A and B are shown apart, each in its own frame.
Chain A
Amino acid sequence: MSKYPKLLLIAALAFGGSPALAQKMGLGRAALPEEVAAWDKDVRPDGLGLPEGSGDVLTGEEVFSDKCAACHGEFAEGVDNWPKLAGGKGTLNREDPLKTVGSYWPHLSTVWDYVNRSMPFGNAQSLTADEVYAITAYILYSNDLVEDDFVLSNENFASFELPNAGGFFVDDRDQTELAAFGAAPCMENCKPEVKITMHATVLDVTPGDPTDDAPAAEVVEVTAEAPEAAPEVVAEAAPALDPELVAAGEKVFKKCAACHKVGDKAKNGSGPMLNGIVGRAAGSVDGFRYSSALMDAAAGGLVWDADALHVFLEKPKSFLPKTKMSFAGLKKAEDRDAIIAYLSTFGG
């Protein structure tokens, strides 16, 4: 017996029996348990990863209305182009199936996991475990899968099966497609005739103005002018503004951009468009359905001057308790100064 195999064995043990007996580089450091706990949040179908906690449908309805309904609708039915989370039962084998938690998702764990890690959009990872249980219960309720007295907890979680749990199968292209698409390709007389059966221009959904498809030289002229024109408008609207503050405000606006649009073609989204907002009467954008809370304040004469915006944006829900703006607020005064400066560059 040479010493060699013995050494190997020791090495294997030292490396914890790792299958690939690779040379370690000794780079990095051991992760601390609290670091792993802070990042390792994913939840699996068997419930692995769920924290202790519980929540009921009615609490869920409140939290959902507060934090989710601006985009997903009061009944999780979806607003505009934002995702629908309820409905669609029985549509999967029909034209244009509606895929929601109730009609399509195979695992309840995915709802908990996704809401917990990724929602609300623009303020992710801000919900408590109990809130996530409550919201998940409410989404089930919106899909007619539980009654209004249902309580979801880490204890009854794994026993709950979604309707489409059995609706998925593992990629079978190897059997169903590879052989069919693997024949030697035809080169001549592959079909008797060819007819055009559909034109893209009939639907006419290609984006942009006609310049998109125009010869390159003309497009160049259009885009080349744009950057020069923009600063002029800004300068006219508010000559006294500090450009650095405006630039900082443009960054802060990313927090609002999911719901609000400004500029040339700004339209209402899940929030009203904000052109001309600074100094404007509250609740006055045409075609936007404000909450009654905001309409009441508007009737009381609320005008969005810089002071009012400061207070509102610091904590929207304290200023207007029932506003449907699901936004936690801008804690830093300098962020609020910056956003107000930025917004005042957009005239009505």
Chain B
Amino acid sequence: MQDESGKTTTRRGFLQAGAAMGAGAMLAGTTAAAQSADPLITEIQPWAQGLGDGVDASPYGLPIRFETDVVRRNVSWLTADVISSINFTPIHALDGTITPQGCAFERHHSGAIELAKEDYRLMINGLVDTPLVFTYEDLERFPRTTRTFFLECAANTGMEWAGAQLNGSQFTHGMIHNMEYTGVTLRTLLDEAGIKPEGKWLFVEGADASSNGRSIPMEKALDDCMIAFKANGEALRKEHGYPVRLVVPGWEGNLWVKWLRRLEVTDAPVESREETSKYTDTMADGTSRKWTWVMDAKSVITAPSPQMPIKHGAGPLVITGLAWSGRGAISRVDVSLDGGITWKEARLAAPGQDMALTRFYFDHVWDGSEMLIQSRAMDSTGYVQPTKAQLREVRGMNSVYHNNCIQTWWVKPNGEAENVEVS
């Protein structure tokens, strides 16, 4: 142990020195020269000599110990306790688009329950020809579908509405994840029960003590909603609704009921607590928008950012981030380095997919001076991500949910970044 950590320190020291030197040279466009030979190369390292772990050392693997800081974190002052609470995906440290389940944010209203497949039942009732009950096994026998979608909590970035508050993209934008879901479409299940013509809404309800229930217009339910039992190829995690959750593509996360137990076809919305007291948007005059289900186009630079300072000095710099839209696919992302005076188009890692995260990169040669970095998403409907000022002009100052404004990070000459609001 001691030996190893001693070595780590020297190695790190060496690398840092090398990096600082390299940076200057890079800026000039030439390759750096080493002052002395790198012992990591000239000395035989223990891993090159001895043996590593055998197979089965961890039958279900976790990230290597050097990555243990890439975890969900919560903001304890937000809620009274951790049972009805939220934590945040470490988006600052992830890349690509798929969120590993183990670090995908959690929001529970009465804790993450343990519900075994054998104990699982799904009921369809209300305005149907035949009210039905399915076991978990029944659900696995329906024709299956696999699709990738983002899930964003309506409160994501909500704390930023009144002003810059939290220092880190994890905290400002981490109530989001993006997974590949496998399951059965709601259309398939509802057809099995037979929807009566007056059935215009679907009330969906979870099995946990919060009994979270939401009303979804039947049109949406039949369009692209599904129940999922797998995410990223494996069973859902307990905290994401094992064994079955609802998937409501592009719409606010609270609708994606976990531990889904009931689908009730109705002729009117229930107006449950989560669609009245919560998830409604209060305007300046005190009236409130309801049924603001769709998540508008949004983006954020995940690195550099407050938790991801630039440590290599001036020279080549990868600016990267995520963009998404509940109305369709991301068609373009622009990046500004001067707080929104000038913009340049970023490179999308892959063409935007409907209602799924899109990764963007902006390859930059940093001169080491301060920057105000921003990203701006556009989606396939032509919608352009607005500034906070634009949103406030319509919604006033008292809104909380559905904040999709442009985010600014102030990157200082020393590479550190801070969450700021700009004029």
Contacts and interface: CB of A to CB of B under 8 A. Distances in A.
Chain A binding surface SS class: loop
B340 A190 contact: yes
Contacts of A189: 341-342
A160 interface: no
Interface string A255-278: 001110000000001100000000
B364 to A, nearest CB: 17
B410 A185 contact: no
A198 interface: yes
A239 interface: no
Interface in A173-196: 173, 176-178, 180-191, 193-196
A30 interface: yes
Interface string A150-187: 00000000000000000111111100111011111111
B420 interface: yes
Nearest to B374: A194
Given A97-B398, A118-B211, A190-B341, A31 B132 contact: yes
Interface stretch (B38-46, B264-272, B348-356): B264-272
A39 B138 CA distance: 20
B192 A118 contact: no
Contacts of B109: 118
**Count class of interface residues, chain A:** 35 or more
B164 interface: yes
Nearest to A205: B165
Nearest to A20: B191
Interface in A1-26: 15-20, 22, 24-25
Interface stretch (A40-48, A50-58, A128-136, A139-147): A40-48
B397 A95 contact: yes
B305 to A, nearest CB: 10
Interface in B317-347: 334, 338-344
B125 A106 contact: no
B32 to A, nearest CB: 22
A81 B344 CA distance: 44
Contacts of A269: 80-81
A194 B288 contact: no
A301 interface: no
A194 B338 contact: yes
B19 interface: no
Interface in B191-228: 191-192, 194-197, 203, 205, 209-211, 213, 222
Interface in B379-423: 381-386, 390, 394, 397-398, 410, 418-423
A194 B390 contact: no
Contact of A15 (B67, B71, B124, B194): B194
B31 interface: no
A57 B309 CA distance: 58
A18 B194 contact: yes
A45 B271 contact: yes
B111 interface: yes
B68 A220 contact: yes
B272 A110 contact: yes
A194 B337 CA distance: 11
B10 interface: no
B14 interface: no
A122 B264 CA distance: 25
B76 interface: yes
Interface stretch (A211-219, A242-250, A334-342): A211-219
B417 to A, nearest CB: 10
A176 B287 CA distance: 15
Contacts of A240: none
A97 B161 CA distance: 14
Contacts of B194: 15-16, 18
A42 B213 contact: yes
Contact of A121 (B84, B280, B341): B84
B123 A31 contact: yes
B390 A180 contact: yes
Contact of B306 (A20, A44, A110, A213): A213
Nearest to A211: B69
Given A42-B213, A185-B384, A109 B341 contact: no
A317 interface: no
A169 B290 contact: yes
Contact of B131 (A30, A42, A193, A217): A30
A124 B93 CA distance: 38
Q: Max chain B CB contacts within 10 Å: which of A181, A186, A199? A: A181
B167 A206 contact: yes
Q: Max chain B CB contacts within 10 Å: which of A35, A206, A217, A269? A: A206
Nearest to B66: A220
Contact of B130 (A30, A96, A177): A30
A17 to B, nearest CB: 7
B284 A28 contact: no
B73 A40 contact: no
A185 B406 CA distance: 13
Nearest to B82: A257
Contact of B390 (A114, A167, A181): A181
Contacts of A113: 270, 272-273
Given A196-B420, A213-B168, A168 B192 contact: no
A312 interface: no
Contacts of B203: 42
B131 A31 contact: yes
Interface string A270-309: 1000000000000000000000000000000000000000
Contact of A217 (B12, B276, B422): B12
Interface of A: 15-20, 22, 24-25, 27-31, 35-36, 39-46, 71, 80-82, 92-97, 99, 101, 104-107, 109-110, 113-114, 117-118, 121-122, 124-125, 167-173, 176-178, 180-191, 193-201, 203, 205-208, 212-213, 215-217, 219-220, 223-224, 254, 257-259, 269-270
A-B pairs, top 6 by smallest CB distance, nearest first, are: A93-B286, A194-B339, A16-B129, A92-B286, A200-B419, A81-B80
12 contacts: A16-B130, A27-B192, A35-B123, A104-B288, A113-B272, A124-B211, A181-B385, A186-B343, A187-B344, A191-B423, A193-B423, A254-B111
Given A97-B286, A168-B290, 6 more contacts: A18-B196, A29-B133, A121-B83, A191-B340, A194-B339, A216-B69
